[in-house]
Amino acid sequence: MALHVLDEANRCLQCKNPQCQKGCPINTPIPTVIRLLKDNKLDEAGKLLFENNPLTTICSLICNHEKQCEGHCVLGRKSSPVHFSGIENYISETYATKMVKGPAASNGKKVAIIGSGPAGITIAIILARYGYQVTIFESKDKIGGILRYGIPEFRLPKSVLDDLQYRHIELKGIKIRPNTRIGDAIGIDDLFRDGYKAIFIGTGVWRPNTLHVKGETLGNVHFAINYLNNPSVYKLGERVTIIGAGNAAMDVARTAIRNGSRKVTCFSVNKKVAASDYEFSYAQLEGVNFEYNRKPVEILDDGVIFRDVIEHDDGTFEEVDGSDKFFASDSVIIAISQGPRNVIVSTTTGLNADKRGLLVADEFGNTSRQGIFASGDVVNGARTVVEAVAHSKIVAETMHKYIQGLSDAD
């Protein structure tokens, strides 16, 4: 592994105007990291990675590198780009074993983090570095959010999340309250009552989007986000129809195959899949089938009726009369993204959401209610992990400035 990484590092041109760094949503200092590695300063490279991106190990595994850092590498114009993903993963995993430093000196101020997905973890880690007493409120039994309950083990091993929890959460003195949904027994106002100076909401998007077609409530129909949460409890059968062709659909398809399904087909209303080239290619390699320009019109107990559609250059669709066709399957999984749940909004005065249920917040994470901040998918809709981390870094600094500006009486 190390030899391969050094081979890749030696290919880096150390561009004065690094396009790879510009292509990274979190602006990872890629040339500097590679230079440090080549100078046998792995610890310095690792420290730089984690200071810039607390979830660097995770991002090295699941980022859409082909359209971000590696997709912008100048070497990729004529040959193969420098595969920084492998370099980042090697450095971060190796350096992480040395991260045993305890919590920072406490500044005596408490902060509440609601949700422990990419945004919540990032905010918690950054504020803990400043000495805040951070408590994470997580509705599930373990932290990680979409990282743990929405990304398959073969793409993101749970051991990586467990190590992150140990080194970045437990060692830093961050408290966790699992199985605690804010908006039920405990509300936002209760947190302020108990002395939390600021509250961050990063609850993600867990409510599946629906098709609104006949048959969607049948017993053979499931939603992608629910299936990925715990695939082992589902009995899908041999033939599986997946409605949708984004990255989540690829995760579902590849997971279904690993759990015994043998004929898995993704149906896309578009001319091609929405998933990344990498995820699409892996799905093809593993035997997933694809159907294009087909729209579901009715789900039955033994399959789905699809109608052909014509996709015009302006992005509109035209249904083809008389083209309905039945595709047999044992199970149907709907994978057309998710929206937010509204438990917190419905139980908190002065907290605004838009018509889709997403929290309204400015670019710095300020919501409509003072002292409450938000970022990640609950604000922007389903996005990439690295985008959530990048935005959350800004929000964490906003929260720090806000709390420091409060008087002791506040």
Strand ranges of the sheet holding 110-114, from the earlier edge strand across to the other edge = 175-177, 133-137, 110-114, 196-201, 372-374
What local confidence, expressed as pLDDT, does residue 382 receive?
87
- Own/partner contacts of 308-313, CB < 8 Å, gap of 24 or more, are 309/269, 311/269, 311/270, 311/271
**Residue 104: inside a domain, yes or no?**
no
Same domain, 254 and 324: yes
CB contact at 8 A, 64 and 103: no
Q: What is the pLDDT of residue 314?
A: 85
Among 96, 120, 138, identify where a domain stops. Answer: 96
Model pTM score = 0.93
Phi, psi at 27, each rounded to 5°: 60, 45
Give the pLDDT score at 2.
56
Show which of 296, 321, 336 is a domain's final residue: 336
Question: What CATH number corresponds to the domain at position 199?
Answer: 3.50.50.60
| 3-class SS of residue 67 | helix
User: 10-residue block means of pLDDT along the chain (410 residues)?
Assistant: 81 95 96 96 97 96 94 93 96 93 93 97 97 97 95 96 94 96 95 98 93 97 96 97 96 97 97 92 97 97 97 90 97 94 89 93 96 95 93 97 81
Q: 310, 336, 362 — which closes off a domain?
A: 336
pLDDT number for residue 217: 98
| Residue type present at position 393 | K
- Domains in the chain: how many in total? 3
Report pLDDT for 407.
62
For position 100, what pLDDT does the model report? 86
Q: Which residues span the domain enclosing 182?
A: 110-206+339-404
